[in-house]
Structure 1
Amino acid sequence: MDYKCALREETAQLVADYLEYCCRREGAQEQPASTPAAATLRLVAGELRRLYQDFFECAQNQLLDREPEQVITNVAELMDRGGFNWGRVAVLVVFAGALLEMEEQQKEEQVLHLRRETSRRLTEELCDYLVEKKGAWLQENGGWTGFHHHFAKRQSPQSDSSSTLCCIMAAAAGFGLVGLALLLVVR
């Protein structure tokens, strides 16, 4: 199997793990993360969602009438401008998870099915973007193991506060770009 196929498979597993995590019913037992990178993504995502809760709620309200796959494609293309880093990768996947929550206003039994279908389509869009357009960058930066190490070393008790601050700043820079992209998308 060539590296692109392997990277696509790993990306699909990671994205699907996170989006399924986002689709879980409130109060349902949480399934363990499928890989160390998936566990790291959940931790990073939780922090981003906590820090930028107002933004995510505003985005959900403004994007209710849009197809999530098109939104994520537009945001990914806009994020391409000005460099690429793990923070932006994390923000893009977390944003996709937030798009799944837009379906909450429908009846509960329909929501789970709709979220799973949207999750499948978003996984496909994110894989296309991350593997086809950013595959070389991901490979150069250690793939999803590199993602895990990038964030995990900054969250360990031994890490100094400056490396943790750099990690948060990288994620916030990525998030700020998504916020800007969203403003452009909803115009």
Structure 2
Amino acid sequence: MDSKCALREETAQLVADYLDHCCRPEGSQERPPTSPAAATLRSVARELRRRYQDFFECAQNQLLHQAPEQVLSEVAELMSQGDCNWGRVAVLVVFAGALLEMEQPHKEVGARPLGGEVSRRLSEELCDYLVEKKGAWLQEHGGWTGFHHHFTQKQAPPQSDPSSTLCCIMAAAAGFGLVGLALLLAVR
């Protein structure tokens, strides 16, 4: 298997793990992460979601009528304009999870499986972007093992400023009617 195929497979597994984690019914037992990188992503995501809770809640409320994979594609494209770093990668994956969650507002135990088709489309969009457009950067920085080491060795949130990455997301989201989001974080 060539390195691009291996990266796609590993990326698909990581993204699926995280999106499945995001759409599990409330009260259900959490499945163990599928890899050390998946565990790290969940940890980084918890911190980003906690730290920028207002942003994610506002985004969920404002984007209800947009196709999640289209929003993700636009955000990824805008984020491509700057240098790639692990912080940007993490924020993009976390944003995909937030988009999936907004599609599943009633996460109840015993409810039908959550996220099926939307999760698949978001996963495909995210994998395509990460492997096709950022694959060389990912491989150059150790792949998902590098992601895991970056965050676990630092024992801290991303070294890149997540606020600036979220500003990129807000700028992309503004095209979808989220002009007020810039004010939300500017006030903080």
Q: TM-score normalised to the size of structure 1?
A: 0.87
Match of residue 57 from structure 2 = 57
Post-superposition offset of 1:113: 3.9
Say whether residues 1:46 and 2:46 are aligned partners: yes
Report percent identity of matched pairs: 66
Say whether residues 1:67 and 2:67 are aligned partners: yes
Q: Is the 8 A contact 1:74 1:185 kept in 2?
A: no
Q: Which amino acid aligns with 1:137?
A: W
Q: Is the 8 A contact 1:86 1:170 kept in 2?
A: no
- In the alignment, structure 1 segments of 5+ residues that lack a partner are 156-163
Task: Tell me: CA distance 1:44–1:126, structure 2 relative to 1, closer, same or farther (3 Å).
Answer: same
Number of paired residues? 178
CA deviations over 1:40-66 (Å, ceiling 9, x no partner): 000000000001111111111111111
More helix by share: 1
Match of residue 99 from structure 1 = 99
Match of residue 6 from structure 2 = 6
1:6-155 → structure 2 map (5 Å cutoff): 6-105=6-105, 112-113=112-113, 115-155=115-155
Distance (whole Å) between structure 2 residues aligned to residue 105 and residue 154 of structure 1: 34
Q: TM-score normalised to the size of structure 2?
A: 0.87
Distance (whole Å) between structure 2 residues aligned to residue 110 and residue 75 of structure 1: 33
C-alpha root-mean-square deviation of aligned residues, in Å? 2.1
Q: Is the 8 A contact 2:91 2:162 kept in 1?
A: yes
Post-superposition offset of 1:111: 7.0
Say whether residues 1:181 and 2:186 are aligned partners: no
